[in-house]
Structure 1
Amino acid sequence: MSRDDLWWHRPFQMFQTNLREIDAGLDVHRVLDYLEEFGAGAWLLSVGGIVANHPSDLEFQTRNPALAERPSGDLVGDAVAAAGERGVRVLARMDFSKVDHRRAERHPEWCFTGADGTQQVYNGLTSVCPSGDYYQRHLFAVVDEVLDRYPVDGFFFNWMSFNEVDYSGVHRGTCHCLPCQRAFAEFAPGVALPTGPDSDTYPVWKRFAAGVLDDLTARVRDHVSRRRPEAPLILGDRADIVFHEANNAVGRTLWHHRTAEHVSAARTFRPHVPVLTNAVGFVDMPYRLAGEDPRHFAQFLVQAISRGANPSTYIMGTPDDVTYECLDVASEITRFHRDNPETYRALRPAARVVLVRPDPLRRASPRTEEATEEFRGLYTALVETHVPFDVLPESRIPDVEEQGRLGAYGLIVLPDLGPLAPKAVGVLDRFVSGGGGVLGTGSSGFEGDGSQLEGAPVLRRTAVRDTVESVRSMHLRRPGRDGHGPRGDLPVLGAFHVVEPVADADTDLPVLSRAPYGPPEKCHGHLPLDLHGVLRRAQGRGRITVMPWTPGRAYRQAGLGGLRDVFVDEVSRTAEGPVRIETDLPEQVEVVLGTSASGGVVHLVNHSGDVPQGFRSPLPVEGRYLRVPWWPEQPSRALRADTALVGDSRVELPRIGLFEVLTA
């Protein structure tokens, strides 16, 4: 069976009913009526694991007692049969993360065990460890029983992870069960098993845990594929469909671009692998009766489809039980995706800039947070200045070169990544020699006192200023436009790496020394230093630019447009070829580029409704124009407005509300 023959390689739309035990008597026909009207052609149904919604004969599965309400005694069988008659696909949601008290007592070797020897118990259920036999062996028996009885169209495994954090958000530490102890000792001989994020060896544990899950995912995928090739596994990077849950959470600071970031990272790494964004219709698990704000929920789905994911909506219970206001807009966006299959078939990223996302497995927690802030600041800067970009996880840089796709880009941005992996260094050196540009900020590419990149404009690094006090009052002097006088100084926030340039480096943004900043009578004495905030150099047919400070973190903290602009100026200067859209759209409208079966696709996502901890109704934008300089043919139609676009070298845009989609 070829890839094109597999149903999930075509655009699809899903709806998830996350069922409680009491929902086993649901009317499958009423649910299917709702799904079809909603716009969904796939139903993610709770099948097995913690509770089996079918008459399981396995000793380690618990039949849902509420199945007695059904004449058949089999919710899964009824749902699969009724859905099959309508052409709706049923995917099996499984949850192997927990077992009941009886089984936990009988099989303590299955259980997640803390450093103090205690098991992790929540609401009477005990968390299970992925290193133990319940996951490693018995999971496959459960999958086989389902496949033996029902022609399900796919599987999703919920919370298949090392459950360090429970439903209350409490960090319970790393697992110290005997299987974990044995496997970790083999993975990292002589390394102490950490107790949690505060342990020095915690990053090693995270790599170990990721490896266990990757291996298990690959084995499950192969097992399902052998049994039923037309049934995909929805999970992580090694699955048939990459899963991302778009959700809100009480107490978590909102990152407005979280959904787009995660989808882009997956699609840039493997554009041929489908992504599913399952958007949560309620605010948080403890507040599952409170529906998500419709304007917030709309961003989940719009960001997802703009970056090439398939949309899904997730509710607790059944459609008869919920009154979530967000479901109307969810249905509207879902139907739009359904009704434009050629636009979304094989929709893949097509920007000319790559923004590398820091790999949290390579860094201790504080360093991860700093790199993330730099990444998000640069992400925001590119969105606001209409520089389309694709997100690429740091560890996947070599993969994209091996796939032969790196040459499509004109620039790779490295946001304060610290020392780079040797394979990544080789990839970047070849990319620059072949004509591409690399722009690194902060610590990117520095190891010890030297730069890792061949031909970098830095001879050596002599010092690091990375505390608040060490950079406090330090400034960068911007030259005026056309070289006429200074244009206004910029603050250095975050970190500054003192470097010595090579002889032929082109330097800019001279540094002004720190000086007293209080009381006012003493606020003077900034001296020009022989240091610079930008160093550039040609290498081979390409260019390398180093900004040895953290403009992204500074922009996140201070919000000064000048911090954003000096970074984006270097983006345009360093990249091979044009990378910026010609447009008069306001900063709040993001431009996302892709190509699909229908040709070039432009998504315009309106972020004018973004507020500190949510989204409001975006302001309509009209009377604007757009041109993609490197596209031979400009977009010719707006799908949401259902109108042809006017213009030759640039097109006049229709009124833009929440989002618009342009096709060439």
Structure 2
Amino acid sequence: MRLWWHEPFRTFQTNLREIDAGLDVDRVLDRIEEFGANAWLLSVGGIVSNYPTDLAAQTRNPALAQRESGDLVGDAVSAAHARGIRLLARMDFSKVDRRRAEEHPEWCFVGPDGEWQVYNGLTSVCPSAPYYQRETFAVVDEVLSRYDVDGFFFNWASYNERDYSGRYRGVCQCLSCARAFGGPLPAGPDDPGYPRWRRFAKDMIDGFCARMRERIAARRPEAPLIMGDTADIVFHEANNAVGRPLWHHRTSEHVSTARTYRPHVPVFTNAVGFVDMPYRLAGEEPEHVAQYLVQAISRGANPSTYVMGTPDDARYECLDVAGRITRHHRDHQHVYTDLVPAARALLVRPDLLAPDPAIPEFQGLYRALLERHVPFDVLGEERLADCGGLGDHTVVVLPDLGALAPGAVAALDAFAGAVVTTGSSGFDGSAAQLAGSPVHERLAVRDGVEAVRSMHLLPDGAGAFPVPVVGAYHVVAPADGALTAMRVLSRAPYGPPEKCHGHVELAQPGLLRSERVTVLPWTVGRAYREVGLSAHRDLFVDAVLAAAPAPVAVETDLPDQVEVVLGRSRAGLVVHLVNLTGAGPQRFGPPVTVHGSHLRIPWADRCARVRALRAGVDLTVTERGVDLPPLELFEVLVIDGEM
């Protein structure tokens, strides 16, 4: 039986305050239907129970007295189901009140200083401790015994190293953690045991999630758990935060990572309608929320919009554009049904739990591929060994990943396409790990600002211009038969102009290539991320295009800032064109409308029918592909007749 959440769906989340328990459920549901959503994510239990709980571990919301029934959840489930709207239960088990903390100190987070983590009168609990491991199951059982809820979402199910103010509180030292960890607990990131603890923490949450999923499925199999990798639906919150540098592609990256790993597991993207939790009365910039949602649906996620309080309380200008995008998703349900990744290039994201993941390298290569209109999917490094999706791609890119795990090496060696590596990827000490590598051995590493300052690479060809090496360069000896390109211009003094000379051309290459592996032994992505020279971008992308055994890029004259995302659904090949021309420092502004561009996918069926959904027109296919209608925020092309 196909479960409901394997069809596209759209959610509206009301993150309720205690004072909202008297809300008019029919008025809220009117707004949700107008918005285009067919699911309501409602605050149900945990810190505060919005139903008359009988469990000692929960606190009934005193504001339930405002309701004739005394039961917000019961009223909401009945009214939502009468309209065919799903009711999803938001649970928050991260904290308890002071009385319960005093009664059950064994539940509580204990910091390295021996103190509990108390914030605004609430005490954080530890996922290793009995509250998570026992009491939460009793709460979920109580909800399931009373209400036919259609799913569960658990908020902030994690080891809370930071509190709501962003203050670092350290690694929990409670007795349950000490027993489960099986060794001295680190205090924080500066301790040698911290990387191991991070993996322990993830395993504990994944284990809890898997057990909870089994419990819910046994009681109500039609109610999914929305949470992490072991849940029925993978959750991603698209949000902004004061003081956090904005990565403009964060939503697209996270959704792609999940969908590439498990294409048939739904992803739920919750777009936050306000600026930041401390500023939750201030609505987010409309164009910013629009990017959350467009990036989400383009990669195959189910869109959700999140407000504080009720729709009447949330005076957010961004809700207008969020509703338009949500209704687009509703009106083209068939296009988003079974939408899975379909790019030919794969970019591997560094393992985020690694001690020092090469995020700048990854982000630089991400931007380079996007700007040169090479559609690509993203996969986490930790998934290389257990992901069967490599065979669906033509070329895999490894961004400065360092030594690879044996399972990853085996998967890449079995991959039939091309592999392109940058920086340290695939080097274990002096050895090159990948079969068929053009590198015989690594001889030395120049890593750090001073180690490569004033070092350049000179591309081949008459009239080529030197490009700077930024980050790291790995000195390697080519394997027999390897093709090499680019030459290193050594470091030279810098400072007063009179002394700025002395670069020496070395026999060290900037690119090596064999039949299936291409190596750029320097951090070209980091260079592009930090300096922004198109020469860095083009050297990398040209290497990818040359390595790929089949075309991977589309042919277009769209601006660099338009992302091309390829997917395949029941409707055929689906092409999302996401207009990022409004991206600016720490913000999104209105995109510039793009006129008169064309697009051609070399491997697409030239006889297929092409329809532009946003424009509502069929496009004529010519030798240069299709002439595109004016592109505003986004366009969706559906190509029928595909394979």
With normalisation by structure 2, the TM-score equals 0.98
User: Superposition pairs for residues 478-489 of structure 1, below 5 Å?
Assistant: 478-480=459-461, 485-489=462-466
C-alpha displacement of 1:635: 5.8
C-alpha displacement of 1:259: 0.3
AA partner of residue 286 (structure 1): P
AA partner of residue 502 (structure 2): G
User: Superposition pairs for residues 3-22 of structure 1, below 5 Å?
Assistant: 4=2, 6-22=3-19
What is the aligned partner in structure 2 of residue 505 from structure 1? Answer: 482
C-alpha displacement of 1:522: 1.2
User: Superposition pairs for residues 466-481 of structure 1, below 5 Å?
Assistant: 466-480=447-461
Deviation per residue, 1:128-166 (Å, 9 max, x gap)? 111011110111110010000000000000000000111
Does residue 1:582 correspond to 2:555, yes or no? Answer: yes
Does residue 1:378 correspond to 2:378, yes or no? Answer: no
Measure the CA separation in 2 of the matches of 1:496 and 1:193: 36
Measure the CA separation in 1 of the matches of 2:163 and 2:485: 50
Measure the CA separation in 2 of the matches of 1:581 and 1:53: 52
AA partner of residue 549 (structure 1): W
Q: Which stretch of structure 1 is more off in the superposition, 390-399 or 654-663? A: 390-399
Partner SS for 1:487: coil
The question of whether the paired residues in 2 share the 8 Å contact of 1:477 and 1:486 is answered with no
What is the aligned partner in structure 2 of residue 440 from structure 1? Answer: 421
Measure the CA separation in 1 of the matches of 2:370 and 2:429: 33
What is the aligned partner in structure 2 of residue 44 from structure 1? Answer: 41
Measure the CA separation in 1 of the matches of 2:184 and 2:347: 35
User: Superposition pairs for residues 540-559 of structure 1, below 5 Å?
Assistant: 543-559=516-532
Deviation per residue, 1:336-357 (Å, 9 max, x gap)? 0000001000010000011000
Deviation per residue, 1:196-253 (Å, 9 max, x gap)? 1111211100000000011100000111011001100000011011000000000000
Measure the CA separation in 2 of the matches of 1:503 and 1:526: 28
Q: What are the ranges of 5 or more consecutive residues in structure 2 without an aligned counterpart?
A: none
What is the aligned partner in structure 1 of residue 379 from structure 2? Answer: 392
Partner SS for 1:217: helix
Deviation per residue, 1:156-209 (Å, 9 max, x gap)? 000000001111011111111101001101xxxxx5321111112111000000
What is the aligned partner in structure 2 of residue 188 from structure 1? Answer: none
What is the aligned partner in structure 2 of residue 158 from structure 1? Answer: 155
Does residue 1:97 correspond to 2:84, yes or no? Answer: no
C-alpha displacement of 1:93: 0.2
AA partner of residue 512 (structure 2): L
Deviation per residue, 1:451-503 (Å, 9 max, x gap)? 111121111111111110010000000123xxxx1320000000111111112
The question of whether the paired residues in 2 share the 8 Å contact of 1:385 and 1:568 is answered with yes
Measure the CA separation in 2 of the matches of 1:155 and 1:408: 33
Deviation per residue, 1:242-274 (Å, 9 max, x gap)? 000000000000000000000000000000000
Partner SS for 2:471: coil
Identity of aligned residues (%): 66
Q: Which stretch of structure 1 is more off in the superposition, 633-642 or 392-401? A: 633-642
What is the aligned partner in structure 2 of residue 417 from structure 1? Answer: 401
Deviation per residue, 1:624-656 (Å, 9 max, x gap)? 111111122456100000011112341111000
C-alpha displacement of 1:573: 1.0
Measure the CA separation in 2 of the matches of 1:547 and 1:438: 11
What is the aligned partner in structure 1 of residue 50 from structure 2? Answer: 53
The question of whether the paired residues in 2 share the 8 Å contact of 1:635 and 1:651 is answered with no
Measure the CA separation in 2 of the matches of 1:486 and 1:424: 40
Does residue 1:291 correspond to 2:278, yes or no? Answer: no
AA partner of residue 379 (structure 1): Y
What is the aligned partner in structure 1 of residue 566 from structure 2? Answer: 593
Measure the CA separation in 1 of the matches of 2:581 and 2:596: 16
Partner SS for 2:186: coil
User: Superposition pairs for residues 128-207 of structure 1, below 5 Å?
Assistant: 128-185=125-182, 192-207=184-199
The question of whether the paired residues in 2 share the 8 Å contact of 1:462 and 1:499 is answered with yes
The question of whether the paired residues in 2 share the 8 Å contact of 1:478 and 1:486 is answered with no
Measure the CA separation in 1 of the matches of 2:475 and 2:163: 43
Partner SS for 2:87: strand
Measure the CA separation in 1 of the matches of 2:191 and 2:629: 55
What is the aligned partner in structure 1 of residue 412 from structure 2? Answer: 428
Measure the CA separation in 1 of the matches of 2:60 and 2:8: 34
AA partner of residue 496 (structure 1): Y
Does residue 1:656 correspond to 2:631, yes or no? Answer: yes
AA partner of residue 420 (structure 1): L
C-alpha displacement of 1:400: 1.8
Deviation per residue, 1:101-152 (Å, 9 max, x gap)? 1111111111111112111001000001110111101111100100000000
Measure the CA separation in 2 of the matches of 1:218 and 1:647: 48
What is the aligned partner in structure 1 of residue 392 from structure 2? Answer: 408
Measure the CA separation in 2 of the matches of 1:302 and 1:165: 30
Does residue 1:528 correspond to 2:525, yes or no? Answer: no
Measure the CA separation in 1 of the matches of 2:634 and 2:247: 19
Partner SS for 1:112: coil
Measure the CA separation in 1 of the matches of 2:479 and 2:466: 25
With normalisation by structure 1, the TM-score equals 0.95
Measure the CA separation in 1 of the matches of 2:488 and 2:154: 53
AA partner of residue 15 (structure 1): F
The question of whether the paired residues in 1 share the 8 Å contact of 2:609 and 2:618 is answered with no
Measure the CA separation in 2 of the matches of 1:635 and 1:532: 47
Does residue 1:270 correspond to 2:245, yes or no? Answer: no
The question of whether the paired residues in 2 share the 8 Å contact of 1:601 and 1:635 is answered with no
AA partner of residue 397 (structure 1): L
Measure the CA separation in 2 of the matches of 1:22 and 1:138: 26
What is the aligned partner in structure 2 of residue 461 from structure 1? Answer: 442
The question of whether the paired residues in 1 share the 8 Å contact of 2:178 and 2:184 is answered with no
User: How many residue pairs were aligned?
Assistant: 637
- Equivalent of 1:337 in 309, 325, 329: 329
Partner SS for 2:466: strand
Measure the CA separation in 2 of the matches of 1:236 and 1:461: 38
What is the aligned partner in structure 2 of residue 643 from structure 1? Answer: 617
Deviation per residue, 1:408-461 (Å, 9 max, x gap)? 111110000011010000111111xx3x10011000011111111112111111
Q: What are the ranges of 5 or more consecutive residues in structure 1 without an aligned counterpart?
A: 186-190
Q: Once superposed, which parts of structure 1, at least 4 consecutive aligned residues long, lie more than 3 Å away?
A: none
Partner SS for 1:637: strand
Deviation per residue, 1:29-88 (Å, 9 max, x gap)? 100000000111100000000000000000111000000010100000010111111111
Partner SS for 1:313: strand
Measure the CA separation in 2 of the matches of 1:149 and 1:648: 60
Measure the CA separation in 2 of the matches of 1:458 and 1:588: 35
The question of whether the paired residues in 1 share the 8 Å contact of 2:294 and 2:578 is answered with yes
Deviation per residue, 1:508-555 (Å, 9 max, x gap)? 0110000112210111111110101101111xxxx1011110011000
C-alpha displacement of 1:576: 2.0
The question of whether the paired residues in 1 share the 8 Å contact of 2:578 and 2:633 is answered with yes
The question of whether the paired residues in 1 share the 8 Å contact of 2:340 and 2:569 is answered with yes
The question of whether the paired residues in 2 share the 8 Å contact of 1:635 and 1:662 is answered with no
Measure the CA separation in 1 of the matches of 2:257 and 2:468: 31
